[in-house]
Structure 1
């Protein structure tokens, strides 16, 4: 007895899953029992039947667990859940937005209507678009027999033996959809298309503008009429012709508004929301000879429901007040709401919930039985709440393509189809300028078992070959898993996700290869830049508009050159406008680019491809192999190459007046504390030339002569934990230490390879303007105040006297 009851329950449950879903326009008043019986008889014994039966059993098990959980819920738990629901309801009510006017437009039997328009012989026949395996849509004549979308064609043939099935033609549908979207864009440029035949629009802004339009902007004629304005009169030129094909019973042969135009003059639309939507539908019919239905409501969820109220070729408006929304939602079946499918409908039905009003009454129970996301969604539905913000350009998470077919088990066909899918997906990615790191292969076998396999790559991919290389390996893995049996498929799809963001697309740092290559400069262009008239360097007046493209750094530098710096009282700079109002780092970088362009010699033609420059010894290494090049750098860093040079050491033998360093400005009497600029030299010592020597972290071998003979320097180094005296032999030439480093700010060559000294010099260069601003001094152009190179060899800064 128990077994029979279980079987009966399973059969009833299966019927509910396989039963016809008549929650669609044009399917009211059908004989459901007869249709469901035909569906059952046609499906029994098929793999689809077995798969649906297995899914139904899984759903029944979920319901059993849910009912068992419900039996253990206490009154205290219900009270606590009810308090939580009431608090959230109060918060949602305070945030209810009824100010927007959202429209959902849905074309009537779109694919079927396009085929009927192009083939009038189908107008009075039940027809569907698709194949014997699956239908995409059906016209309203076929819906009277229970034929609908997502139904196998062979079952539809048993429901309606005279059904005409037309193959799909998506190129044609996309072309018509583009025409419809042109009309949408006139009412909301940021409309949200959901598919080829439906979209959401926010016409709130359009209605504000519409109220100020003259009546002439609200007048429309059919394509066979021309609007001729002559002395203020509208003249009729050609008779009116019917537009819309007969897609359903009682469909008018032409638009009602065109009948008025034929009888008199033209159709004039109003300025309210209903009139704006009627005008939109009128224009769609004029442009495509197809009809559309629309729903008008305060949010997207309600607009979707409203668009189905007066289908086909109609519209419905829900007033934007709370009571109207609550009254509308009370008796609405839960299955009518987008997002509630047959599984959720059955689980709610087991709790006695069939309408949206029941959702509100049992919300505390739902909060205990369903996930937080689910019961929050149910609460929004019970209150008639939905999104009021149409976001078309939201962040895309993935992009995919898939194809359903008859049984396919040949390896050659499977790999060929995989490549075709990758090619189609690569084209879609190219259109959207997207690249992704994760490639997923979706497979459905003949038993309707779905498997997905994904692989995440270290870099983003987008081309056909890149996608196919990954998808092919994933497909091989599945083939090997079922070996020696063949992999029998009926669906295959490829998806790309983990898209690279805008920041990821930009390299975080320059490639080491690009950095080590010598930069090629155009000497002619450099010469042209340097000889431009001064007036071209002056910044434009603030009133003039700047070009859309960002100016180059060289252009920014030119704008700075032509504007003089005038010191004023208190050390405040005056006379700086426009592009001169930049940070010091921006100006310093522009200045370094200018100096580099003026001083850098063009490299040899073969240097770019045949050699790399060592960042340690700055020599050309005749190789493009990074392994060889890295080995050379390792040798330089370990000191292997320091004894291989035989240059003279005349440049090391310099007098006291040529200590190594950089000359910033002329000697000033302004005493600026080091702490004011963030500098804290360990030791300051007066140099013979009147400047100040800075010895923090200095390698003794980089100073004049032998630093061991200078007790002051030696004490500084030892007290600060700096480098200890080196025991290596005394170098014979300057090249033993490697070529000098060049400051990226002032472009002056520094006769040292000690990075501590070099970094200190760069810090001072970067802070020189700050020092002068604090001291009330006018900055001085380095190109006119630098001493000869021979005087820059020491670590002496004669420009500013630092005091601690």
Structure 2
């Protein structure tokens, strides 16, 4: 390897060893010496070797990207491409919505400050929370470079006086509930992003109480401190992405109000490090830097190259970032959005089979408790384990029956773990997917889609151990911030492959979409605006599974068939044809299915079908592709039964 490449590798490795939380509040601006100490303290450890391998793999990936970049721009008139991208920017600018006042609140060093409430003698001392890996650190410890995600042995090297505390999740949940109770006074439909942070839309509250955004947020922060003795930082902006960025500007115990003006927003984003964008972690930061993108403003400078390498970087997502355009729809967590439920434990490395099984049994017991209390059962069990080399692996097994009991969870986990032995692990976890909601009604039929939304469960009610604290590297963003997968940077969710939930990507072969829509008509308003979708639009996009199994994680939850043989007849109005019907749930469902299929086929038959498949009278399901339409599965009208004359 040449000296230049070797130097770059060393520099990138030192930066990687520093961890994902180098931009957190309270840390020194110049961390060169701290990073050098971390690198020296890590040498010879399995953690160091694992990070070295990851850095080498990423460096090789960057080399491939640079080669692709050279091939992409060779002989290309970049000026013409820039003009084309400018037109895309104009279209995106039309989606900007400045009508809503969004607040991101973020509790300051939450776990550490809760510990202070219970042990005031810690005040002014450097301490951290967590076992083998630091969960959070007091601001006194951060001055030494101690931060979340850091192995505790390295933290002690940086700060020999560091006090290591074990976690008290019951305390964190209790204080979290208090904070969220206060915040709901200002927005009952707040969106919790964890046990210590979330989003509020305070627009209605401002109008009702005739307050400015700054005055309202000051009041919120004063109230939280008065009732909990905890401090909170906040960001005020027109959308969720900007609000989150702003909440970090004046930490701790401060607030930042971004001007609601498109030019001011673009100027604000222009000098912002690309790493500050929620969801862009260490990996994508290095990938973007390799093509010259270090700030959000650089996205515009290099827009032609990013256009040519859209597959690698996701142009539309980056353009939205540059413009500061994102979702401003704040809504609570819905039960039917949940994809998985799990529990895990971290501990000093174990190599004894008995010790590992004891930990696995503890995890299974904890998961059983969580599933029973929250009302879930599932059919796929995934074992997650981290080796003493810090490599993470998963093994999964799908079952033909529902599980949520400790004995079965432990048995499946044991079955998945045994082929990996002998080994040494420092983390064991179990996760259940393919969930069925035991609290969902199975007797309301399709009427459940026309009623009010199910009461949300806030993030504050979820286990604190299942939620990363504010100091954890934020490597995910709500998918709702993007119109489609094209608007997401490839590799955008920078989690370990082991942490990806495969059930989120399952699509059943027998799934049908009930109505066909012209692509040009899918978005009739900017996709990020606040107004919710209408009932008819929800039906248009809703998919229905023909199987009688559990609700699919990727679609709306459909009630399972009721075991009752008959239900009372009621008067309903069909949402498709507006016909008044006197029927029970079963008849209503059949009628709506018929209307949806009938309208879809009529629409398809009225469009040119040149070069496409035609439904034959004997087919039950065929693909029907139309010019300007998505390729969808349709069902023909049911056969008309002739009435006998008496």
TM above 0.5, yes or no, is yes
Match of 2:347 among 386, 396, 405: 405
Write the distance in 1 (CA, Å) between the matches of 2:83 and 2:413.
51
Partner in structure 1 of residue 376 of structure 2 = 434
User: Is 2:369 the counterpart of 1:466?
Assistant: no
Structure 1 contact 401–421 (Cα < 8 Å) conserved:
yes
Relative to 1, partners in 2 of residues 1:191 and 1:75: Cα closer, same or farther, differing over 3 Å? farther
Distance change (3 Å), C-alpha of 1:302 and 1:148: same
Identify the residue that residue 489 of structure 1 maps to in structure 2.
425
Q: 2:436 aligns with which of 496, 500, 504?
A: 500
Match of 2:86 in 1: 86
- Paired with 2:25 and 2:173, the residues of 1 have a C-alpha distance of 23
Task: Tell me the residue number matched to 1:33.
Answer: 32
Specify whether residues 148 and 93 from structure 1 end up closer, same or farther in structure 2 by C-alpha distance, changes over 3 A only: same
Q: Which has the higher contact order (CA 8 A, sep 6+)?
A: 2
- Measured against aligned partners, the alpha-carbon deviations of 1:215-262 in whole angstroms (never above 9, x if no partner) come to xxxxxxxxxxxxxxxxxxxxxxxxxxxxxxxxxxxxxxxxxxxxxxxx
Contact 1:441 1:454 in 2 (8 A): yes
TM-fit CA distance, 1:39 = 0.7
Residues 1:292 and 2:240 aligned together: no
Match of 1:101 in 2: 101
SS of equivalent to 1:59: helix
TM-score (norm 2): 0.67
TM-superposed deviation, 1:489: 0.9
With over 3 angstroms needed to count, the CA separation of the structure-2 counterparts of 1:588 and 1:349, relative to structure 1, is closer
User: 2:212 & 2:149 partners in 1: Cα distance?
Assistant: 38
- The answer to whether the 8 Å contact 1:42/1:155 transfers is yes
Which runs of 5 or more residues in structure 1 are unaligned?
212-270, 480-485, 510-551, 561-580, 590-675, 681-801
Partners of 2:567 and 2:585 within 8 A in 1: no
Distance change >3 Å, CA 16–CA 372, structure 1 → 2 = closer
Provide closer, same or farther for how the CA distance between residues 441 and 80 of structure 1 changes in structure 2, counting only shifts above 3 A.
farther
Matches of 2:586 and 2:374, distance apart in 1: 37
2:214 maps to: 274
Tell me the distance in 2 between the aligned counterparts of 1:337 and 1:331: 12
Q: CA deviation at 1:391?
A: 3.1
Task: Give the 5 Å matches for 1:138-157.
Answer: 138-157=137-156
1:678 is aligned to: 642
Q: How many residues end up aligned between the 2 structures?
A: 467
Give distance in 2, aligned partners of 1:422 and 1:448: 22
Q: Within 2, Cα distance between the matches of 1:187 and 1:317?
A: 17
Distance in 2 of aligned mates of 1:459 and 1:92: 47
1:131-187: per-residue Cα shift (whole Å, max 9, x none)?
3x2211112122122111111222222222222222221111111111111111111
Decide whether the 8 Å contact of 1:105 with 1:198 is kept in 2: yes
Residue 385 of structure 2 aligns to a residue in which SS?
Answer: strand
Secondary structure of 1:352's aligned partner: coil
Q: Contact 1:442–1:492 (CA<8 Å) still a contact in 2?
A: yes
Distance 1:82 1:423 in 2: 57
> Against the structure 1 CA distance between its residues 588 and 118, is the aligned structure 2 distance closer, same or farther, given a 3 Å change threshold?
closer
Can you list the C-alpha shifts for 1:448-498, whole angstroms capped at 9, x where unaligned? Answer: 22211111223332222332232221112323xxxxxx2211111111112
SS at match of 2:324: coil
Listed as ranges, the matches of 1:254-265 within 5 Å are: none
Contact 1:360–1:383 under 8 Å retained in 2: no
Aligned to 2:303: 363
Shift in Å, 1:118: 2.4
CA-to-aligned-CA distance 1:600-652 (integer Å, 9 cap, x gap): xxxxxxxxxxxxxxxxxxxxxxxxxxxxxxxxxxxxxxxxxxxxxxxxxxxxx
User: TM-score normalised to the size of structure 1?
Assistant: 0.54
Question: How much does 1:191 deviate?
Answer: 1.3
1:392-439 Cα offsets, whole Å, 9 max, x none, are 234112222222111112222222222221222222223332222221
The alpha carbon displacement at 1:584 in A equals 6.7
- In structure 2, the partner of 1:328 is 268
Partner of 2:332: 392
